[in-house]
Amino acid sequence: MGIMNMATMSTNRLILTGIAVLFAALATGMAFAGWLNHGAEIFLTYASVGLAWCF
């Protein structure tokens, strides 16, 4: 492998890692936003079926 191939592989790996981190952050943000919007309903639903101890 030449130096150029190693640099290209490193750049590709960095781009893929960045995309994966971006999608993970997006999914986490969406889950958090959903919890903020519907947290009370989720808790009350779990409380009504006896699963509120999970929180």
**What digits encode the pLDDT tens for the residues 30-39?**
999 999 999 8
Residue ranges in 1-55 assigned as alpha helix (H): 3-48
Give the chain's residues under pLDDT 70: 1-4, 6-7, 52-55
pTM of this structure: 0.63
Asked if 54 contacts 47 with a C-beta cutoff of 8 angstroms, the reply is: no
Chain position carrying tokens 């989720």: 42
CA distances from 51 to 37, 43, 47, 54, 55 (A): 20, 9, 6, 6, 8
Instruction: Retrieve residue 48's tokens.
Output: 């009504």
Based on its alpha-carbon atoms, the radius of gyration of the chain, rounded to whole angstroms, reads: 21
> What range defines the domain where residue 19 resides?
3-54
What local confidence, expressed as pLDDT, does residue 42 receive?
84
Domain count, the chain: 1
